[in-house]
Structure 1
Amino acid sequence: MFRSLLLLLPVLWFTSCPPDLEVPPALVTVEGFELSVDNGQGAATTDITEVWAFADGEFLGVFPLPARIPVFRLGQVTLRLEAGIRQDGRSVTPDIYPFYTPFVRTLELSSNATVNLGRLPIRYRPETVFGFVEGFEAGTPRVFTDRLAGNGELSVQTEVVRSGAAAGAISLADSNRLVELATFRTYGGLNELPINVWLEVDYLSDAPAVFGVVGEQGGLPVRVFDPGFLPRAEWTKIYFNLSSVVGAADVNEVRIALSALLGPELERGTVYLDNLKLLYLPAR
């Protein structure tokens, strides 16, 4: 009897494996994502670095772009592919960007077969609230107009641009090494739970800068700054998650602020900014 059980164990082992794992997987390839925008949503600049993959609701993994995604489910499978970004520009904080729509498609998958999806079309989710879109184009109002420190400003120029015909610039020099600016408008209710507030920024800069919020509580000023960027010689996009900053400020109305500081090794420098977008979700 015991000998019969030993002989039966390998049979039980192999027959207990899920059928789809007994054969090679299908392969789905993704080249990247293509963002389309509507009027009032600014330029379609992105920095999507990964794809988060789900098959029939089951998480498959996070894959760097361009991606080769093995799928062990065969036959008719519904794939959901989400755009992945680096929160605050840090490689240690990959995340699904909550404001882009997922790409969803039902495919007929076969073992060892490859399905090339190319570049996946995405948009901003319809429930996304655009607090502001600052592209510095002619005929549009400026956003960061209130000076908090220094005597500089975020001026419009047309020589160094990321997209469109214009971009913003903050000039720094020995006599003006620190410039802090805030939005002219206040934003209320951003601290209502769950907090989900992000700032998209395209930048090229000789100096570091940080972003945050300013407000008042009981007649006293409140200032919380955290995410920022280091100098870069080429245009770079960053998705800043301001949720923790807004939560730490814990005031009902805030203004979005930025602070740029020229390093001691430089006599002068310029911070170029373009396509600044404040995004959040409406309170539930």
Structure 2
Amino acid sequence: MKKLLILLFTVNFTSCTLLDGFDETPMFIQVDSVSLSTNGNQGWPSHKISDIEVFADGFSVGVFNLPAKVPVLQINDSIDITIAPVIRNNGISSNPVKYPFYQNLDFSFLFEEGTTIPLSPTFKYRNDAVIVPICDFEISNCINLDFDQNINIGFIKSSDTEYGDFSGLIEIEEANTFFEKGSFTQINKSLLSNNIAFLEMDYKCEIGFGVGVILSGQGVPDFPAYKIVLKPQETWNKIYIEISQLISPSNVEGFRILFGTTTATTIPGKIWVDNLRVVHF
């Protein structure tokens, strides 16, 4: 039986000394960047796929930061390569996870020692992924429920955006330093086949703000549950926020997306958000 030899790495391949001890010369898979393709119902192709996991003939070669040059040792005539997209869960650099809602990509090549095969993978959402658009601000502001009971502050449309024509902007002033605003769209928890769910969003901000959900259930008042507090970010950034644990309690029947200041702040500033969508199975 022919044997497959795999090199295991969790960082970029940077030194030929890592191949010392092997008589065979590897073939390399070069991936400089990746992209995301979406259809009209899935929103703009915003993504932050920072890493890839590479499999050769079904065995994991490792997780590689992009750009990546992946060495593979193989003595068969052909090799099957699978590339899986990896994101940073909740924006935490030390928490890379294979994003469950993107499809893996499969390639087959004739193995040639010393050659480098350039790839530019374009990922798509899985067919069984359910994408619930929350707001992209192109038509109207959908983050318009005033859980803070303050109608004097709220999101408005802004032309500062990376996708489309508009994003959502809220400006915190000294006279209105606390806010809690929720999405018009409420997601029925019974529509989820399991409790795995992520909020995808683009944002930039001059001040920190909290992101979470408003939970609702029969016989209980709406309850705010924050997942993360985002730090100031000068340029547009994409983040994947896992809300699975927040919505897991058995008495939760539905939820809305929530933005707010977790404590009153005296620092004025602006917050922009865009391309909000909840993804689940």
Q: If the TM-score is normalised by the length of the shorter chain, which range does it land in?
A: 0.7 to 0.9
Report the CA distance shift for 1:78/1:49 in structure 2 as closer, same or farther (over 3 A). same
Output one character per residue of 1:172-205: Cα deviation in whole Å (capped at 9) or x when no partner. 0111111111122321126956321111111110
Aligned twin of 2:274: 274
| Alignment coverage as a number of residue pairs | 260
Output one character per residue of 1:69-92: Cα deviation in whole Å (capped at 9) or x when no partner. 111224211111011111111111
- 8 Å CA contact 2:192, 2:280 repeated in 1: no
Secondary structure of the equivalent of 2:34? strand
Report the CA distance shift for 1:190/1:72 in structure 2 as closer, same or farther (over 3 A). farther
Secondary structure of the equivalent of 1:90? coil
Give the alignment of 1:228-247 within 5 angstroms. Answer: 228-247=229-248
Aligned twin of 1:170: 170
Aligned twin of 1:13: none
Q: Rg: which structure is higher?
A: 1
Aligned twin of 2:181: 181
Aligned twin of 1:78: 80
Give the alignment of 1:209-224 within 5 angstroms. Answer: 209-217=209-217, 218-224=219-225
- 8 Å CA contact 1:207, 1:261 repeated in 2: no
Aligned twin of 1:146: 145
Larger helix share, 1 or 2: 1
Gaps of 5+ in 2: 6-21
- 8 Å CA contact 2:205, 2:233 repeated in 1: yes
Aligned twin of 2:253: 252
State the Cα RMSD in Å: 2.3
Secondary structure of the equivalent of 2:248? helix
Report the CA distance shift for 1:49/1:105 in structure 2 as closer, same or farther (over 3 A). same
Gaps of 5+ in 1: 1-16
Normalising by structure 1, what TM-score?
0.84
Comparing 27-36 and 206-215, the one that deviates more: 206-215
Output one character per residue of 1:45-98: Cα deviation in whole Å (capped at 9) or x when no partner. 221111111111111100010111111224211111011111111111101112
Normalising by structure 2, what TM-score?
0.85
CA distance in 2, matches of 1:131, 1:56: 35
Q: Does 1:108 align with 2:107?
A: no
Aligned twin of 2:29: 28
- 8 Å CA contact 2:215, 2:225 repeated in 1: no
Identity of aligned residues (%): 23
- 8 Å CA contact 2:171, 2:271 repeated in 1: yes
Output one character per residue of 1:229-281: Cα deviation in whole Å (capped at 9) or x when no partner. 11111111111111122125850222221213687462x21101111111111
Aligned twin of 1:43: 44
Q: Which runs of 4+ in 1 moved over 6 A?
A: none
- 8 Å CA contact 2:43, 2:133 repeated in 1: no
Aligned twin of 1:7: none
- 8 Å CA contact 1:190, 1:246 repeated in 2: no
CA distance in 2, matches of 1:19, 1:112: 17
Secondary structure of the equivalent of 1:45? coil
Displacement of 1:22: 3.9
Displacement of 1:168: 0.4
